[in-house]
Structure 1
Amino acid sequence: MQLFWEQGYEGTSFDQLIQLMGISPSSFYNSFGSKEQLYREATDAYLSMSATWFAGKLFGTADTREAFKKFLDGTAMEFTRESHPSGCMISLAGTHLPPELTSIRETMAEHRANAEAMMAQRLRKGVEDGDLPPGTDVPALAAFYNVVTRGMAVQARDGASRQKLKAIADLAMQAWPVQNGQERSVKSRRTRPA
């Protein structure tokens, strides 16, 4: 998982994989069938590992705004841990692949869409609970925070510090819609003339 995370699918060679795992080519094919299948299994391992903090931050707090604040702060922390490659394996994976690897690109795009769908689910709960204004454009707000986290992954991979990612997270929270008509909702901000 860490080798694919660090070097990507195409950047990781078959020889590197068998050397790292200490197995023969025949054992590799008997165990995994193909490099692509191993990549999918490594991606599943990453998703299992990251689900703990991802879902834990989003759904572990009753207040929706606080949940997203903890989620973005957690993202800054996780993307800069020294115990594993920087950034996010899913954010950085499969965006530029040749036609014969379309299935990998589509799988990675699906994983990114699933993360956005989880954010939208949490935001809808916030609307239902009264934490967010009824007119909140949930799909747009989920897409916005998804894009922010994907950008944080790229920043981390480029060497951005945890402090820089935290500053991005803090700024992103300024887009949060506020109740009681004191500030415009996300929907009205988006439709306001420039």
Structure 2
Amino acid sequence: MTASRWIVLQTEQTHPLGCLVILSANTCSPENNHIREILTLERATTRRKFYTCIERAIQTGEIREGTNVAMLTTLFVTFLEGISTEARDGVPLDSINAAITKLMELWDSCA
């Protein structure tokens, strides 16, 4: 699934808004901590994939060597997770897409 389709799915009114992996972790009752742990692992997988993607971009010259991989990973993961809350709160897709465009300007500035 492309990133843009993933964002559209989070904002469509035909199903629950936001992302289950992000939003449900905060609503687990203590007896469902095992679910919270599964979701934590899923988010860690996403974080690792961002980290790997950024490292690969440095290796291929897409972004400059010396880029702070950990910081950029945290920025993108935090942004991605925040989109779920924004979608749940009904922020329009156009506004989210504009924010994504602005964030990607940061990526471009690392070139």
TM-score (norm 1): 0.52
Question: In structure 1, what is the equivalent of residue 85 of structure 2?
Answer: 154
Q: Does 1:105 align with 2:36?
A: yes
SS in 2 for 1:136: coil
Question: In structure 2, what is the equivalent of residue 85 of structure 1?
Answer: 16
Higher fraction of helix: 2
- AA aligned to 2:25 is G
Q: How far apart are the structure 2 equivalents of 1:167 and 1:86? A: 19
Q: 1:138 aligns with which of 56, 69, 77?
A: 69
Question: In structure 1, what is the equivalent of residue 55 of structure 2?
Answer: 124
Q: 1:163 aligns with which of 94, 104, 110?
A: 94
CA deviation vs aligned residue, 1:55-82 (integer Å, no higher than 9, x gap): xx4xxxxxxxxxxxxx3x4443231134
Do the aligned partners of 2:67 and 2:110 also contact (CA within 8 Å) in 1?
no
Runs of 4+ in 1 over 4 A off after TM superposition: none
Do the aligned partners of 1:87 and 1:154 also contact (CA within 8 Å) in 2?
yes
Instruction: Using the TM superposition, give the Cα deviation of residue 97 of structure 1 relative to its aligned residue in structure 2, in angstroms.
Output: 2.9
- AA aligned to 2:8 is M
Higher relative contact order (CA 8 A, sep 6+): 2
Structure 1 gap segments, 5+ residues each: 1-52, 58-70, 180-194
CA RMSD between the two structures: 1.7
Instruction: Using the TM superposition, give the Cα deviation of residue 154 of structure 1 relative to its aligned residue in structure 2, in angstroms.
Output: 0.5
Instruction: Using the TM superposition, give the Cα deviation of residue 160 of structure 1 relative to its aligned residue in structure 2, in angstroms.
Output: 1.0
What is the number of residues matched between the two proteins?
Answer: 110
Question: In structure 1, what is the equivalent of residue 104 of structure 2?
Answer: 173
- AA aligned to 1:178 is C
Structure 2 gap segments, 5+ residues each: none
SS in 2 for 1:141: helix
Computing the radius of gyration from Cα coordinates, the structure with the larger value is: 1
Aligned-residue sequence identity (percent) comes to 24
SS in 1 for 2:26: coil
